[in-house]
Amino acid sequence: MKSSSKILIAIAISLCSLSTQASETAINLDPFDEMENKIVNKDYKKITSVLVNKKGSLVYEKYFNEGSKSHLNDVRSASKSITALLFGQAIENGLFNSEQDKVIPVFADKQPIANLTPKKANMTFQDLLMMNPPMECNDWNNMSQGNEERMYLLEDWERFVLDLPNRGTPPWEPSVEDRPYGVAYSYCTGGVFLTGSAISRKAKMGLDDFAEKYLFSPMEINKSVWPYSPMGIAQGGGGLRLSSRDYLKLGQLILDKGVYKGQSIINASWINKMLKARSLAMPDRGIEYGYLWWIFPFEHQGKQIRAYAAAGNGGNYLWVVPELELVSLVTSTAYNTSYMHQQTQEIFEKVVLKSLLD
């Protein structure tokens, strides 16, 4: 009898533990039901997947339109944030001393470089990671000489970026010294491509091979597709294709400070550096920027929530919210539409956050 009692007590404790774990990861599915109806009715357009990890458990996973578990998503610039991870690994491997290393010496074969002023000569990888290039490079301005669409028309993307003229400050804009963090934010895909190319040069292997060896393979990510320049250089500035679950794994890696299944993949100190606010990217909305990671402020029922995001054209977002132990992914093919970012941000705020916080 005593033995049977002990067994019953053990079972009761086990069931209680499972119940507690379930309650910790439970979410309110009503907002997701509403979201699904909106996707079916085309109120939310071209959404392909929505996934939510809570406390390390996959609590919601749905695919829509052409999305599927096996589909490799082109999340465009959201993959810039993966290049930031790879640069941290390159530092860990001794390929760079730090993000303060200068850029120009890595590209000695491109000499002479046009418009080589002291500002450009002293340009560091930190400048490129935080979107503060000394060159005139702005993808948000169609008139910019460094706009990425101009780069794609040429064969040598490295030289395109390196030869760009130096950036000035229009007289109607505040001086750099008067801006938050003392940084004039300028979104430059070319600079991120240059960063990925530098990793490749230092590692003496393609950026894709470097990622496979030091990030993807240790994390059991088996399928990836990269875009390449006409000269065969992997594009670290956007377009890396992975499955939704694999992108979610990378978000969980950020949440877990670089650890995957007990193995340290990326140094925790680098994760902290990436997520530290370094510039004000969108002053009208208070959206900040770290090292190729966006920092969004949300408010829900008076509670302030800070969410870190990898974001790309089409409305592709990988969200990481440490205080909620939350990772969420929304993929979409609404490329170059007026509603793409607003739509996904609304899904995150009014569906994902609402399901956890209400």
Confidence bin at 209 (pLDDT 50/70/90): very high
Where do we find the tokens 């003496």? 204
Cα–Cα distances (Å) from 44 to 66, 238, 240, 300, 315, in that order, read: 14, 24, 24, 22, 11
Instruction: Give the C-alpha separation, 196 to 236, whole Å.
Output: 5
Residue 24: per-residue pLDDT: 66
The yes-or-no verdict on residue 223 having pLDDT over 70 is yes
Are the C-beta atoms of residues 334 and 317 closer than 8 Å to each other? no
The yes-or-no verdict on residue 4 having pLDDT over 60 is no
Residue 23: per-residue pLDDT: 53
Residue 9: per-residue pLDDT: 40
Residue 16: per-residue pLDDT: 42
The whole-chain average pLDDT of the chain stands at: 93
In a 3-state reduction of DSSP, which class is residue 263? strand
Q: For 131-176, how does the pLDDT look when each residue is reduced to its tens digit (9 = 90+)?
A: 999 999 999 999 999 999 999 999 999 999 999 999 999 999 899 9
User: Please, is 300 exposed, middle or buried when counting C-beta atoms within 10 Å of its C-beta (0-12, 13-18, 19+)?
Assistant: middle
Q: For 69-124, how does the pLDDT look when each residue is reduced to its tens digit (9 = 90+)?
A: 999 999 999 999 999 999 999 999 999 999 999 999 999 999 999 999 999 999 99
Residue 303: per-residue pLDDT: 84
E strand or H helix at 88, and its extent?
Answer: helix 80-92
The yes-or-no verdict on residue 1 having pLDDT over 70 is no
The yes-or-no verdict on residue 18 having pLDDT over 50 is no
- Which of these CATH numbers, 1.20.120.80, 3.40.710.10, 3.30.465.10, 3.90.380.10, describes 28-357? 3.40.710.10
User: How large is the average pLDDT for residues 165-191?
Assistant: 93
Q: Encoding tokens for residue 115? A: 């418009």
The yes-or-no verdict on residue 300 having pLDDT over 90 is no
The yes-or-no verdict on residue 21 having pLDDT over 60 is no
User: How much helix, strand and coil, in percent to the nearest 5, is found in the chain?
Assistant: 40, 20, 40
DSSP codes of every residue in 196-250: HHHHHHHHTS-HHHHHIIIIIGGGT----B--B-TTS-B-TTS--EE-HHHHHHH
The yes-or-no verdict on residue 345 having pLDDT over 90 is yes
Instruction: Give the C-alpha separation, 41 to 124, whole Å.
Output: 48
User: Please, is 85 exposed, middle or buried when counting C-beta atoms within 10 Å of its C-beta (0-12, 13-18, 19+)?
Assistant: buried
Residue 301: per-residue pLDDT: 81
Instruction: Give the C-alpha separation, 300 to 287, whole Å.
Output: 16
Of 280, 275, 315, 302, nearest in space to 291 by CA = 275
Q: For 35-66, how does the pLDDT look when each residue is reduced to its tens digit (9 = 90+)?
A: 999 999 999 999 999 999 999 999 999 999 99
The yes-or-no verdict on residue 15 having pLDDT over 90 is no
User: How large is the average pLDDT for residues 8-36?
Assistant: 63
Q: For 275-287, how does the pLDDT look when each residue is reduced to its tens digit (9 = 90+)?
A: 999 999 999 999 9
Q: What percent of the chain has pLDDT over 70?
A: 93
Residue 174 φ/ψ, nearest 5 degrees: -65, 150
Q: Which stretch of 2-11, 263-272, 279-288, 347-356 has the lowest confidence by average pLDDT?
A: 2-11
Instruction: Provide the whole-model pTM.
Output: 0.92
The yes-or-no verdict on residue 22 having pLDDT over 90 is no
User: How large is the average pLDDT for residues 230-245?
Assistant: 98
The yes-or-no verdict on residue 130 having pLDDT over 70 is yes
